[in-house]
Amino acid sequence: MEINPKLKIGDNVTLLYMKGETMSPGLKGIVKGVENVFNEDIITVDWENGRKLSLLSTEDAWTLNPPEKIEEAYKDEWLSKNLDIANFDTNVLTNYLIKVRDSGITNMFGAAPYLYMGKDRIEHEFHYNEFDENKQQRFDEMLEIADEAQSEMINGVIKILEKENKELSIENINRYLQKYSQKILMHYINVLS
């Protein structure tokens, strides 16, 4: 990984450090212009957080992201190795994970169990939490489809167990729910990243 490589318009960059600004490391952006003034590159970037701030080659740090084609190849490779997720309606589950993300109840890396918990269990877990009106609305929207996501997960797991000629026991279903909720979450991350 090269730090501060030369950039051109259209390059996708990741911020490592920006002097004097409250921009988070890891933020991505697209280069919109490159200008050299007194031996310093000034790189105009549209950042994913909506800000338009320039990188200064003498003060800031960044890396160049690989072209989108490589990311698409990775996504295709991941999907080809995880064809078993075709047993699930990934549109329903991705929509639900977006609602989980928007509700702010968990870091997305910890969101997998929410795919199979269901409305009652999630409601019980957050019974004593007090949310502001906006967050409460997003939480309620997520709860509205929590049972649908749970049902989709259970149905998908049952299909897989039947295809593998395994017993439809509570232990097997629970084990597969944990396994496949992680796979569905990775699918979500691959699709929306």
pLDDT digits (tens, 9 = 90+) for 41-90: 899 999 888 888 889 888 898 999 876 554 555 556 666 677 788 899 98
Q: Are residues 89 and 125 in the same domain?
A: yes
Q: Are residues 129 and 60 in the same domain?
A: no
Q: Are residues 59 and 74 in the same domain?
A: no
The percent of residues in the chain predicted with pLDDT above 90, rounded, is: 42
Average pLDDT over residues 94-107: 91
* Rg of the chain in Å (alpha carbons): 22
Q: Are residues 123 and 76 in the same domain?
A: yes
Question: 72 and 111 in contact (C-beta within 8 Å)?
Answer: no
Q: Are residues 123 and 32 in the same domain?
A: no
Q: Compute the distance between CA of residue 133 and CA of residue 48 in angstroms, rounded to an integer.
A: 26
Q: Compute the distance between CA of residue 108 and CA of residue 168 in angstroms, rounded to an integer.
A: 29
- Structurally, how many domains does the chain consist of? 2
Q: Compute the distance between CA of residue 29 and CA of residue 34 in angstroms, rounded to an integer.
A: 14
Instruction: Give whole-number Cα distances, 32 to 41, 70, 140, in Å.
Output: 13, 21, 40
Using 50, 70 and 90 to split pLDDT, how confident is the model at 23?
Answer: confident
pLDDT score for 19: 86
Q: Compute the distance between CA of residue 84 and CA of residue 147 in angstroms, rounded to an integer.
A: 22
Given a cut of 70, whether residue 95 has pLDDT beyond it is yes
Sign of the Cα torsion 89, 95, 98, 99 reads: negative
Asked whether residue 175 is assigned to any structural domain, the reply reads yes
Q: Are residues 73 and 168 in the same domain?
A: yes
pLDDT tens-digit readout, 128-182: 888 888 888 999 999 999 999 999 999 999 999 999 999 999 999 999 999 999 9
Q: Are residues 101 and 183 in the same domain?
A: yes
Amino acid at the residue 186: M
- Domain boundary at 25, 47, 64, which? 64
Q: Are residues 133 and 166 in the same domain?
A: yes
Q: Are residues 26 and 58 in the same domain?
A: yes
Given a cut of 70, whether residue 1 has pLDDT beyond it is no
pLDDT score for 153: 96
Asked whether residue 3 is assigned to any structural domain, the reply reads no
Q: Are residues 115 and 165 in the same domain?
A: yes
Asked whether residue 2 is assigned to any structural domain, the reply reads no
76 lies in which domain range?
69-192
Q: Are residues 97 and 163 in the same domain?
A: yes
Average pLDDT over residues 10-21: 88
Given a cut of 70, whether residue 31 has pLDDT beyond it is yes
Asked whether residue 1 is assigned to any structural domain, the reply reads no
Average pLDDT over residues 116-134: 88
Q: Are residues 89 and 181 in the same domain?
A: yes
Average pLDDT over residues 24-28: 86
Asked whether residue 159 is assigned to any structural domain, the reply reads yes
Asked whether residue 177 is assigned to any structural domain, the reply reads yes
pLDDT score for 144: 95
Sign of the Cα torsion 149, 151, 156, 158 reads: positive
